[in-house]
A and B are shown apart, each in its own frame.
Chain A
Amino acid sequence: MTIVADSVEQPVHPKRVAQDSPVRRFARAFIEDRLAVAGLAIFLLIALLAILAPWITPQNPYDLAQLDIMDGGLAPGEASFSGMTYWLGTDPQGRDMLSAIVYGLRISLVVATVSLLCAIAIGIVAGMTAAYFGGRIDSIIMRIVDLQLSFPAILIALILLALLGRGVDKVILALIIVQWAYYARTVRASAIVEIRKDYMDAARCLALSHRRIMFRHLLPNCVPPLIVVGTVQIAQAIALEATLSFLGVGVPITEPSLGLLIANGYDYLLSGRYWVSVFPGIALVVTIVAINLMGDRMRDVLNPRLQK
């Protein structure tokens, strides 16, 4: 009877193990740091603003019918003839800067997030394939990664966009190509450590398929470092997209991201209309700082040398 009772209780066991997964342990250590949590809160707020843009902004900055050229170049806090107050001023076309910034955030975040997800997916497949199969496959993949990482990201992105031309899709493609190598290297490094552990041998002895071992057993244990690199990289991606747009090879004028808004305002900066360029810049910096605060804490959590 006792044997039966034991085997009945068995299914409870995996659940308890699942609760203590690497990701959960990681999350618990993360919320101990107030600065990092503040970063997370600011980032979530910004993301929410970007998602809800059409419902919360006073005006749709790209609907020309809503723009009034008479409102052009108003300083922050000035009221227009129609009685609307522009808290962050307007650009020379009479576009409300607050609305333009929220819409710009939206494009910046979409570009960064989509490219991040695609790059992570490619990086995971490449990195795990390299670690799992080893040998020649490993050395070919890692040679490509090394080759790419030896050149600065901005240079590679700039070349690609100079050849491909402007466009949101092209910027995303360039960011994916620039970023995948970081994830591939990260995943490979942690996968190589994990592969030597006993549970991997156990999984192999069960004659599970390569795919199942790689994605159900190996991958979950490689996730925490990936989150750290992903956080740092999304900040980098936002900055890189802004830079490319500023240089005039990024997103098109019809879909201005924060970088393009800053570039458009640059001409007015020296003539005293600082708000057209400075406010989008502040939005960009706050976003990046919030993400980097999180990333900084995460790195400390995962650094074994700083463990208590």
Chain B
Amino acid sequence: MLVYLIRRLGQSLLAVTAMAFLVFLGVYAIGNPVDILVSPDATQAEIQATVQRLGLDKPLWDQFLVFVGNVFHGDLGTSFVYGRPALDIVLERLPATMELALVALFISVAVGVPLGVYAGLKPDSIGGRSVMAGSILGFSLPNFWQGMILILFFAVFLGWLPAGGRGETVNVLGIPVSFLTLDGLKHLLLPALNLALFKMSLVIRLTRANTREVALQDYVKFARAKGISHRRVVFVHILKNIMIPVVTILGLELGSMVAFAIVTETVFAWPGMGKLLIDSINLLDRPVIVAYLMLTVFIIVGINLVVDILYSALDPRVRLSEVKG
């Protein structure tokens, strides 16, 4: 286990370093870094100071080490627009994005798993076929368009729910959250649904495929032969066994939810990191872009690491094959 852990940790470090290098190359090597890191209306003295602080007169390799050193100090530059450290600005927006992603993840499991099990138990029924057809539609509808239609229908046409914003928030442990107030919940529902729909389709398809396979296994037949009720067979014998792959995929998909939140947040004007990224791209606020990228890379690599370790703890075959290979 320890060998596996060390190897896996090494891989994660390598991934973060590689992405840091690419971001570094993108920002520093393509184009003039002075233009990128100093605001256009800076004076000559300010430019000189930045060049010295970042060591832009040194060779590229030295510069990369300086960049990494700064990253470890949490120094990712100062935002041109806000005039404050870029990392702080991104971190302030993190809770909103994480809340959205987690609620969306919850919705996609709460709706996707039951529908998938149903479609898997009755693959040829009308209901089962409709669920599958619906799931094709679910991952065919582009995220942003589906969000617009949700707004058009629920906010403009019916007028039930607000079209954007985050609503009223309460602080829990110093972190503002929306889901504890009625107003916040109203604001949260549409964006979360929007973000969830694609993953929901994925969960439905995955659950259905696994249910179909598991339902034919001998132990399920045996459980039925013993006279166990249908309900118990489904909820205990089948559901337990399909949850392992579903949980793994969902863990990995949390990272991609954070990335896809960019689209949802833009459509619904949700004040999270993703909207910040798009605003920063439009305003050419590059330190914030760099800070967003480094933070997201860190989150995604971190999630992958945790999922892999949990998975290998649950399933010894994984870590054994890794050590051998």
A248 touches B278 (CB 8 A): yes
Please tell me the number of chain A residues within 8 Å of chain B, measured between CB atoms: 35
B52 within 8 A of A: no
Chain A CB within 10 A, most for which of B281, B296, B300: B281
B148 touches A154 (CB 8 A): no
B144 touches A246 (CB 8 A): yes
Mask: chain B, 297-324; 1 = CB below 8 Å from A; 0 = not: 1001100100000000000000000000
A150 within 8 A of B: yes
Nearest CB on B from A132, distance (A): 19
The complex places the Cα of A152 from the Cα of B145 at a distance, in Å, of 19
Q: Which residue of B lies closest to A282 (CB)?
A: B145
Q: Tell me which residues across on chain B come within 8 A of A158, comparing CB atoms.
A: 262, 277, 281
Mask: chain B, 212-227; 1 = CB below 8 Å from A; 0 = not: 0100000000000000
Q: Which of A249-276 contact B (CB under 8 A)?
A: 249, 259, 262, 266, 269-270, 274
A152-B255, A152-B256, A155-B296 as given contacts; A292 in contact with B140, CB under 8 Å: yes
The complex places the Cα of A137 from the Cα of B14 at a distance, in Å, of 18
B81 within 8 A of A: no
A151-B297, A152-B260, A154-B260 as given contacts; A281 in contact with B136, CB under 8 Å: no
B26 touches A284 (CB 8 A): no
The complex places the Cα of A223 from the Cα of B247 at a distance, in Å, of 32
**Which one of B151, B255, B263, B289 contacts A243 once the chains associate, using CB atoms below 8 Å?**
B263
Nearest CB on B from A140, distance (A): 12
The complex places the Cα of A162 from the Cα of B148 at a distance, in Å, of 24
The complex places the Cα of A242 from the Cα of B304 at a distance, in Å, of 28
A269 touches B289 (CB 8 A): no
B156 within 8 A of A: yes
Q: Tell me which residues across on chain A come within 8 A of B18, comparing CB atoms.
A: 147
Q: Tell me which residues across on chain B come within 8 A of A155, comparing CB atoms.
A: 259, 262, 296
The complex places the Cα of A284 from the Cα of B156 at a distance, in Å, of 22
B26 touches A163 (CB 8 A): yes
Q: Which of B116-175 contact A (CB under 8 A)?
A: 136-137, 139-145, 148-149, 151-152, 156, 163
User: Chain B: residues with CB nearer than 8 A to chain A?
Assistant: 14-15, 18-19, 23, 26-27, 30, 136-137, 139-145, 148-149, 151-152, 156, 163, 213, 255-256, 259-260, 262-263, 266, 277-278, 281-282, 289, 293, 296-297, 300-301, 304
